[in-house]
């Protein structure tokens, strides 16, 4: 069909809407996850655990960057009309895979949040499954009508555009992985007040649970299940023929107020809690996060140790190292690198959320995250001194 014929032909509004809806959503989904590919990599590891493919854990970041880039490339190619037949097939196969994955997660309650939009828009597996079903409908429209999709530009211009799309798609994930997310959606972002994020306000709604009993009739052997409210309302407890068997089951029916940070506990090697002392320090203090000492960048550890020495000598700045490693391993690591900072311990999950780097650095003051850095972009001691330590210490 010639360009003139296409112009004179009545546009297919359903196809156009489907292309715009799917294309924009795929670009947004890929871009929001590419903002934090390491976080999406952690989510992929949860799926690897469920499907017994943990051998892929070592490649989770590479797969994360690839999937994010693929979503953005497919979305952009769909909007541009680039290789419509191949892109339609790719979209269909991809959405079928995602729909299966989210259904499995929801039906068997194996992954609590799907990670479709990263930490920016947390979705439950059922919500994500519903979203994928809607996408599947529109992608089927695109697939059926794929022969009606034409390139928006000529071959040469299109190739140049797609080249830049591919470059930007992979480049965005590689950049944020090697530095930090451009927008930090986690509760340890710059400006966050950690003690406030850990508190539950007085009078906040509490979790509501339902107690489920299993009852058995002594005469007939019949069994039935009922809630605690039904148990009292029916007054079945007055009937001596019915008895409760097994342990009552507590079922969460309504989630109460959730603190933004609810899993952070910092302790020493003896288990003594130092959480408040460290995060509520009224002065500047440096927190080095290295959740996995075996994989921590050793050059960065040396640079951070030099910063620690200068900050302590000149401004009495306290520096602590937070890790999820064992006390024995931490002691060996500290001795090997001649570390002078104090070492404390926390679970790996909150440490991974604190900063997407191993190691990473946070500057705290009075519980507030003043700034944070990836080990690829650590500030020099002079920069820290000039910008922070000389003022309001």
**Residue 282 token pair:** 């009224």
What dihedral angle (degrees, nearest 10) is formed by the CA atoms of 281, 287, 293, 295? 160
pLDDT tens by residue, 352-380: 999 999 999 999 999 999 999 999 999 99
Q: What residues does each domain of the chain span?
A: 3-179, 208-254, 266-389
Give the residue-averaged pLDDT of 24-52. Answer: 91
* 110 phi/psi in degrees, rounded to 5: -100, -25
pLDDT at 351 over 60: yes
**One-character DSSP codes across 123-154:** --HHHHHHHHHHHHHHHHHHHHTGGG---SS-
pLDDT at 2 over 60: no
pLDDT tens by residue, 174-194: 999 999 999 999 999 999 999
Q: Which superfamily, per CATH, for 266-389?
A: Glutaredoxin (3.40.30.10)
Give the residue-averaged pLDDT of 327-334. Answer: 94
d(CA 87, CA 71): 11
d(CA 234, CA 226): 10
pLDDT of residue 104: 84
- Residue among 12, 64, 7 at smallest CA distance from 35: 64
pLDDT of residue 297: 95
pTM metric for this prediction: 0.83
């Amino acid at each position: 069909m010639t360009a003139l014929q296409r112009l004179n032909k009545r546009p297919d509004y359903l196809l156009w809407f489907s292309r715009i809806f799917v294309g924009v959503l795929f670009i947004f989904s890929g871009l929001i996850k590419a903002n934090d590919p390491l976080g999406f990599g952690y989510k992929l590891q949860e799926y690897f655990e469920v499907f017994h493919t943990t051998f892929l854990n070592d490649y989770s970041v590479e797969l994360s960057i690839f999937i994010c880039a693929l979503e953005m490339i497919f979305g952009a190619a769909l909007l541009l009309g680039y290789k419509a037949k191949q892109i339609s097939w790719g979209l269909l196969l991809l959405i079928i895979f995602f729909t299966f994955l989210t259904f499995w997660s929801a039906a068997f309650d194996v992954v609590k949040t799907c990670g479709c939009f990263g930490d920016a828009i947390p979705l439950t597996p059922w919500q994500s499954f519903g979203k994928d079903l809607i996408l599947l409908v529109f992608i089927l429209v695109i697939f059926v009508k794929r022969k009606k999709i034409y390139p928006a530009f000529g071959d040469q211009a299109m190739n140049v555009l797609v080249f830049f799309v591919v470059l930007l798609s992979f480049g965005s994930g590689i950049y944020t992985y090697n530095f930090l997310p451009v927008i930090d959606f986690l509760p340890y972002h710059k400006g966050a007040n950690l003690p406030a994020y850990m508190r539950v306000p007085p009078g906040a709604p509490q979790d509501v649970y339902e107690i489920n009993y299993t009852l058995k009739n002594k005469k007939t052997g019949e069994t039935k299940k009922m809630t605690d409210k039904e148990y009292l309302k029916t007054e079945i407890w007055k009937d001596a023929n019915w008895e409760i068997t097994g342990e009552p089951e507590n079922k969460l029916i309504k989630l109460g107020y959730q603190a933004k940070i609810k899993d952070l506990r910092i302790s020493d090697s003896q288990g003594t809690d130092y959480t408040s002392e460290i995060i509520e320090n009224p002065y500047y203090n440096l927190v080095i996060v290295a959740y996995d000492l075996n994989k921590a960048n050793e050059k960065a550890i040396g640079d951070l140790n030099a910063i620690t020495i200068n900050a302590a000598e000149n401004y009495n700045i306290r520096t602590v190292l937070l890790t999820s490693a064992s006390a024995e391993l931490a002691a060996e690591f500290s001795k090997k690198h001649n570390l002078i900072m104090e070492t404390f311990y926390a679970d790996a999950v909150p440490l991974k959320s604190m900063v997407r780097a191993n190691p990473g650095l946070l500057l705290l003051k009075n519980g507030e995250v003043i700034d944070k850095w990836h080990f690829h972009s650590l500030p020099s001691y002079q920069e820290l001194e000039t910008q922070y330590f000389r003022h309001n210490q």
